[in-house]
A and B are shown apart, each in its own frame.
Chain A
Amino acid sequence: MITVALYIAAVAIALALLLNGWRLLKGPALGDRIVALDTMVINVIGVILLIGIADGTATYFEAALLLAMVGFVSTIAYCKFVLRGDIVE
């Protein structure tokens, strides 16, 4: 039962990633592209969690935690660059 749920969840998240990619390519505002990238990172964390459950090992959570941190920092850095023209003033 969990296997079937995993497959359905993987398809749903893949579809969500495709929708994010469409928004990333289309824009039109810069804010849209940043939101799309941020959402893509969050969705990839979901994919990593699904792989972790499928494999039954807890090793993947390190990667998920790291990705969560790097995604947040990169979003903030991008926003800061657009707002101020510089990241660390």
Chain B
Amino acid sequence: MSALLDIAVAALLLLGAAFVLIGSWGLVRLPTTMERLHGPTKATTLGLGALLLASVLFFQSRGIWSAHELLISLFLFITAPISANMIAKVHLHRRRTGAKVEPDGIAGEPPRPSEDGDWATFEAPQQDTQASTANS
């Protein structure tokens, strides 16, 4: 039983490390910023999930039960999409305010949300605050 657990821990460690490496490789290899967001936010989060699972099993096999790993993975799985969304917003904002960016990839320019509307990054959060003037 313990040997089986050891095999599972080793396999999960290798799987997690492989996914972390693939995520960073995607960050280097993919052609545009919007595409580069995919590597770290998905592959790296999954890899860290596998590492955390390996750690749970490892300490379980030594008779220590700790819920910290589950907390960390829950927190990471909740926060990864939020930070990815914020970074995508930053990229859209910088594009529209004329910062120097790379040429678009296969997908082309990100479409406008509607004919007369604009991305929410340009709007003021409340009615009496000013619209953003950063980087313009």
- Whether B101 pairs with A76 at a CB distance below 8 angstroms is no
CB contacts (< 8 Å) of A52 on chain B: these are 55
- Whether A34 pairs with B16 at a CB distance below 8 angstroms is no
Whole-angstrom CA separation of A52 from B9 in the bound complex: 14
Most buried by B among A16, A28, A46, A81: A16
- Whether A9 pairs with B6 at a CB distance below 8 angstroms is no
CB contacts (< 8 Å) of B44 on chain A: these are 16, 39, 42-43
Interface residues of B (CB under 8 A from A): 6-7, 9-11, 13-14, 16-18, 20-21, 23-25, 27-28, 33, 36-37, 40-41, 44-45, 47-48, 51-52, 54-55, 58-59, 62, 64, 66, 68-69, 71-72, 75-76, 79, 82-83, 86-91, 93-94, 99-102, 121, 125, 129, 132-135
Could you show 27 A-B contacts with beta carbons less than 8 Å apart? A1-B7, A2-B58, A4-B10, A5-B9, A5-B11, A12-B21, A15-B24, A19-B28, A20-B24, A23-B27, A28-B100, A28-B101, A30-B94, A31-B33, A34-B90, A35-B33, A35-B87, A43-B44, A46-B16, A49-B52, A53-B9, A58-B66, A61-B66, A61-B69, A68-B76, A82-B135, A89-B129
CB contacts (< 8 Å) of B64 on chain A: these are 58
* Per-residue contact bits, chain A 27-71, to B (CB 8 Å; 1 contact, 0 not): 011111011101100110110011011001010011011001100
Across the two chains, which residue of chain B brings its CB closest to A86? B134
Chain A: interface size category: 35 or more
Whole-angstrom CA separation of A10 from B90 in the bound complex: 32
